[in-house]
Structures are given as structure tokens and as C-alpha cells.
Amino acid sequence: MSTLSTFHIHYTGIVQGVGFRPFVYKLAKTKNLKGWVNNTVDGVHIEINATETQAQAFFQEVQDKAPGLSRIIHASMEEIPSQAFNDFDIIYSDDSGEPNLLMTPDFAMCQNCEKDLYDSQNKRHRYPFTTCTNCGPRFSIIKTLPYDRENTTMDVFQMCPDCQKEYNNPLDRRYYSQTNSCPVCTIEMQLESSSGEILSKDNETIIQSTIDLWNDGKIIAIKGIGGYLLTCDATNLEVIQRLRRVKNRPSKPFAIMHHDVLILSEDTDLDAGIMLEMQSPEAPIMLLKTNDDPLSGIKTADIAPGLGHIGVMLPYTPLYHLLLKAFGKPIIATSGNISNSPIVFEDHQAREELSQISDYILLNTRDIVAPQDDSVVRFSTIKFQKIILRRSRGMAPTYVNANLDLPDSPILAMGAMLKSTFTLLNQKNIYISQYLGDTDSFLTQQSFKHTLQHFLDILKTKPSVILADKHEGYFSTTYGQKLARELDVPIHKIQHHEAHFYAVMAENDLLNSSEKVMGVIWDGTGLGDDGNIWGGEFFEYTDNKVTRLDHLNYFDFILGDKMPKEPRVSALAICHSFEEGQELLQSKFTSTEWSIYQKLLAKGSRLKSSSIGRLFDAASSIVMDINKQTYEGEAAMLLEQQAYKYFRQNAPGMRISYLWEKELPENFTTFIMQFLIRDKKDGMEKPLLAAKFHITLIDYIKGMAAKYNHTKLAFSGGVFQNAWLVDLLLLFLGKNHDLYFHRELSPNDECVSFGQLVGYLKAIEE
């Protein structure tokens, strides 16, 4: 018989909170191996007695058959001084040292737990907080690492003997399930009125009361995994309109949670690919095209005014499953917050703030430490290109890219102002925070600080360098400067659109490309190197350097924050110089406004803009008479919807571009608006106008690519959340160009912090 040696195996990645240790235990037992497995602050460690052949086979099989929710990034095995083990055990975790771990996201309820929920013979029958090693909260409840019960907010719940038995049984699905609980050792719920009156603490009474209250047209704030959601009956027009009033949200779309997949397929265009995404462990909100007469009776025109699609998610927690199944109708399920503030996640905050908006509050005793909104995803209609609109619950905070060469030193990238995130590099692991909102509000700034400090505390680290946007007015930049002073570390600034370009290149492994790459970076606002507001940029990446090649022709940037809020101002800034524009635009302003703005434009603004976002606003004002918008991107979304109406009835490949068989005009900005105004005055219908605008932008990109002889094109910026723009790119340019889009990150400003990190790493390579 071969002599047994001792081998030490180490796995890093998403290997905690996903049933990795129980899996290793069971596999070792089947192989009759002796040793142990444990969690530490730098991953999972295993020691076994085995021959070299046995050890190699075991080492490989762990990687080949690892739990589906896990993600192994690095694996190593070495022979160590011989030890004799009598059995194979899971041993107590070691939490000493600096953590070198990827944090595990929160996961939607798995199918096995759903079976338990509706099995009348199961002890967790109708228990609203059932979980196992394959599902439930993770990131939202972690106080420190490694991921063990005592390091989470589950530490206050003492398992009952039956749950402890499951926890200790290697053959049980809840073996070492850190979130394990049941109706005996329960997480408790409490239903309160907005005035603080306690209605019930009994689960079944609460579930029935919630349903009754929804049927009575009441708004209920419900505590979920990442924070509170404001909920009400999605078929009740009166309560939807009341929610809009109390939330001060006149037209921004609400998300809904749907109760039945078959009925959802009658309400929307639902196909198998979208269904898989909705039922994935991430369980995001999906943007789906709505049908004209939804079977469920949802009030789509009031839930998503003017839009042909709606944000839909399926119940992803046991509580939501129980509520929606019994209610039998979809509900509004929108972030629980006051206007322009982050999601509420603490109970005292819910009582203080959400009592002003909701009629009732449904609390529970499982605390949240990392608040998160729901993630949002859409697919383009024709090419089924995935576009992440918001990366949060189920997706954040870990990002894995084995092709990046990462240094050992910790680096913090602060991101942008709108749709903010931060990125933290630590121990060669990349953490991209959940979506944190728009940091132009004080409460969102406080949430940003809280979340950042939470990351630094969990990882027991401090950055050696801080990265920020060049815009001095961004909160993320000023706070980064403050941190740099306090920590006595350097701060480096990366231009906003270059960060976008670096992010999409890194995601597509283009940083070491031997061919030059054109970056098409289109968004609303970002301070450029020349002091102007950029947003319609064409970059080139070659020889490890980024160069600005070209841009949308500049126009005057006027009236500060008023311009992005009022599309009519963008239209005036672009069109004031030609007569047709003056005639069409004057009616959009009062006589006083017109007089003041004419004088302002005659003098000329020192600040210029190349923003495609503002061009979309201007086009929306011309095509659809949208003069003011109540939320960011509203005008552009409505314009996209008009284009979609045209493309539904006509082949998108029809050549209707203003640039068809024409060279690029000297001033594209003026060119496209002049033609839109001409066709508008000639009575052209809105859908065709919107479609021509979109396709002309595609030909503009094609012309720029030809002008600079580029065939590799990478796209980033909030404009590329527009699914029709993405589809048209793939249709018209996909045959003769290599097109690259974001894969795991959003094209909007959420990706800027990651791009700042990548840009800095490329700079220090030089």
C-alpha cells in the first residue's frame, strides 16, 4: 500500500456562504479521506492524508464539482509535513489576520426551500424566513469575515435543538447553513400602523392582514433582504396615484412584483431567456415590454407613464412568496425611501421616514448592515444583448476578472456623482459596491460613507492611494480628498469618460489588445480635460494609452442644473443659431425667459458641452414637446419608446438615416437637429422622427469609425442603456466591426469607479 502524505489545499473566491465546506466534507467522506476543512479570512483551507494521486484527483474534483453558487478564483495544493488524522471534520473558522475573501452576494430563495415552504409536513411550512446553504441573505447581514453565524446579524438567534441537529448533520441541506432558523427559533415579524400601533406579531395574522390591507388600498412598507420596499396593489389606480403623491414621484416608473408566471406571460413579452434570468439566484428586476391589455389588470399607464415596458421581479424571499401567492395579484414594489434618498434599511429609520409615506410597516428582527436596492436588467429586443441598468442585490459587491494584473497594495476608487459606486482593491480582490444612488443629496452621502466604512472594517484595511473624478464639485471627489488627507495617502484623478472606456475595455479583456480600439463613450455629463462638459466622446486605445480622437460638436452649456432637467433648454442651446429652430422653440418659453436666454446665447457661454445625453434631450423636446423632465433620463426613455413604436411596424434595417449616402457633416450637432425640425414642421409622425434620430446616431458612429480606420469599437456611458440603440449597433455595424459592451457592470456611471482603478493601474505600468 502506498504511503500516505499530508497535503494542504487552499481555495479563494466566492467560497463562503455557498455550501462549500459541506460539499468538501461529503466529497472527502466518499473518498474515505481523513483530514479537515475550515473557513479563514483568506478562503477555504483543506488538509488531507492521501497519496499524491489521490490528492491530485480530489483537488481537481473539488474544482470540477464545486457548488453552483461558488466561484473559485485561485486554487493551490502543496505537500506539508506529515500529520495523521483520524476522521474528516469541519473545524472552527479562523478569523485572525487581514481578510482576503470575496464577499458572497444575497441569493433568492431556492427551489428546495420553496418546496419546504408549501409542504404541510415540513417544520418550515409557511415560515417566512426559511433558508439553506443555497439561498438567503449573505452580504446584507455580514458584520465581519469569515462568513460564520457569529459574524452576521444572525448571531443573536440561538438555534433550537432541531435546527442545531440539521446544522451539524453532513447529510442535511442545512449543514453549516449560517442563516438557519425555524418557527421555534424564529425571526419575528411585527405589523405596525404608521402611528406606531402594533397590529400583530403572529405570522399568519400578519400575512392575512397585509393581504386585506392591500385589498383596502393601503400602502405597506415591508422589510426585505436589502431594505424596505413600499408596496401596494398594482391593479388599484387610486393607491398608485396616492403613492406617487406622497413619494413625490410624478412620473418615474415603479417596479412591480408579479405573483404568477403564466399571467405575467400574458401581461408582457416574456420568453425563456428572460424567465431564466428572473428565476436566477440574483432574481433581478427585468424590464419587459407590456401588452396592451394585461391579464392581471395592472395599471401600466400609471406604473410606467409613457413607457412601453415595465420593471418586473418575481418573489425572491419566502415572505414575498407567501404574500403574493395568497394575494393573487401583482404589487407595486418600489424602494422604501423618501424622494432622492437611499433605501431605508434600519427599523428606527423606517418608523421615522416611511411612516410619512406608508400606512403600515412590516418589520422583522433580522438586522441589515449592508443596504441594497434590487438589481435591474434588460435585454435588447432583437439581438438579446444583456444590459445591466443597476447592479446591486444578488450581484454586488464582488467582481472577478482573472485577466487583470493586480498589485498587492489596497486602492480605493471613489466613482462619480450620479449612480455612484466605489471600487476597493484589497489583497488582489476587486470589490465594486452596490449601487449607492445619486450623491447630490445629504442622506445618500451619509449612506455612501456608511457603506464605505463597512467595507473597510470588514476587510480590515486602509487604502494606500485614492482615485477620484476630475470634477471638483462631485461629493465623491471632495470626500476622496478628505480621506486622502486624513489617511495621509496620495490622491489621483482620472477623467470621467476615460474611466468609462477603461471599464468596458477591462471587462472585455482588451487592455492588451494588439489592435487599436475605439471607445464610444456617450452620456449626459462629465468634466473634460479642457474644462468643458463632455459626453459625446470618441477615444482611441493603442500602445496602452488613451487619446481623445473626436467628439460631438460643442454647443453652449447654459443655466447650470436647469439644462439637464429641462430638455427645452438643450434644444434652445443647440438650435438657437438657425431660423427654423427659433420659430419652433419660442413657444416653449415665457416672453421673459425668451428674452433673457436670447441675450445669454448671443453673448455665448464660456462653458461648452459635447453631451449626447443633452442631444437626446433636445431631440425629445423637438420630436415630442417634452420641455421638462421629472427624473434623469425620462426624455430619452420616452424618445426610445417612440422609436420602438416605429420599429415594431417596420424593419429596423430600413435605411432612414439622415446620413444615408452622405458624408459626415462638419457640424453633426446642428445637422441632425435641423433635419428633425424640418421633418417635424412637415408633419412627420413622432415614431418615424425618433427612429430616424436613432439610426442617424448609428451612422454617425459608423462614419467616425471609418474616418479613423477602426473596426474594434467599445461602448460605455448611460446612453447605451438604450436597448434600441444597442440593437441598431449590432444590426448595422456588427457584420464589419467587433463590438464590445459591458458584461457584468452597467454602462452608466456605476462602472466609473472600476474604470478609475483600471486607468490608474495602466498609468503606473508606464
pLDDT of residue 663: 86
Question: Which DSSP letter does residue 460 get?
Answer: T
Amino acid at residue number 390: R
pLDDT at 114 over 60: yes
Phi then psi for residue 621, to 5 deg, are -65, -40
Q: How many CB atoms lie within 10 A of CB 470?
A: 17
**pLDDT tens readout for residues 466-484:** 999 999 999 999 999 999 9
pLDDT of residue 606: 92
> What are the structural domains, with CATH classification, of the chain?
5-90 (3.30.70.100), 189-374 (3.90.870.40), 377-498+751-765 (3.30.420.360), 555-708 (1.10.357.160)
Assign 728 to helix, strand or coil.
Answer: helix
Cβ atoms of 723 and 379 closer than 8 Å:
yes
**C-alpha torsion 671→676→682→685, nearest 10:** 160
Cβ atoms of 344 and 337 closer than 8 Å:
yes
Phi then psi for residue 719, to 5 deg, are -60, -30
> Which residues, including other chains, have CB under 8 Å from residue 637's CB and lie 6 or more apart?
307
**pLDDT tens readout for residues 47-84:** 999 999 999 999 999 999 998 888 888 899 999 999 99
pLDDT at 46 over 90: yes
Crossing angle of helices 203-215 and 318-327, rounded to 10°: 50
Give the pLDDT band (50/70/90) at residue 661.
confident
- Mean pLDDT within 546-561: 95
**pLDDT tens readout for residues 368-385:** 999 999 999 999 999 999
Torsion sign across C-alpha atoms 146, 411, 524, 743: negative
Cα separation, 435 vs 447, whole angstroms: 11
- Could you check whether the bond before residue 564 is cis, i.e. omega within 30 degrees of 0? no
**pLDDT tens readout for residues 528-552:** 999 999 999 999 999 889 999 999 9
Report the percentage of the chain scoring pLDDT > 70: 99
Phi then psi for residue 187, to 5 deg, are -80, 130
Q: State how beta strands 536-542 and 465-469 pair.
A: unpaired
Give the pLDDT band (50/70/90) at residue 2.
low
**What strands lie across the sheet with 398-399, from one edge to the other?**
398-399, 429-432, 423-426, 411-413, 465-469, 491-494
Give the pLDDT band (50/70/90) at residue 115.
very high
Residues comprising the chain, all counted: 766
pLDDT at 1 over 60: no
pLDDT at 316 over 60: yes
Cβ atoms of 667 and 613 closer than 8 Å:
no
pLDDT of residue 653: 65
595 burial type by CB count under 10 A (0-12 exposed, 13-18 middle, 19+ buried): exposed
Cα separation, 68 vs 304, whole angstroms: 36
- What DSSP letter does each residue of 649-674 carry, written as one string? HS-TTS---TTTT-PPPS-HHHHHHH
- Mean pLDDT within 348-375: 96
Q: What is the mean pLDDT of the chain?
A: 94
Question: Which DSSP letter does residue 160 get?
Answer: P
Q: How many CB atoms lie within 10 A of CB 19?
A: 24
pLDDT of residue 492: 97
Question: Which DSSP letter does residue 344 get?
Answer: P
pTM: 0.94
Assign 14 to helix, strand or coil.
Answer: strand
Cβ atoms of 152 and 142 closer than 8 Å:
yes
**pLDDT tens readout for residues 213-233:** 999 999 999 999 999 999 999
pLDDT of residue 751: 98
- Mean pLDDT within 508-514: 93
Q: Which three cell numbers stand for residue 53?
A: 494521486
* β partners of residue 310: 288
Q: Which three cell numbers stand for residue 475?
A: 461629493
Report the percentage of the chain scoring pLDDT > 90: 85
**pLDDT tens readout for residues 398-457:** 898 888 999 999 999 999 999 999 999 999 999 999 999 999 899 999 999 999 999 999
Assign 628 to helix, strand or coil.
Answer: coil
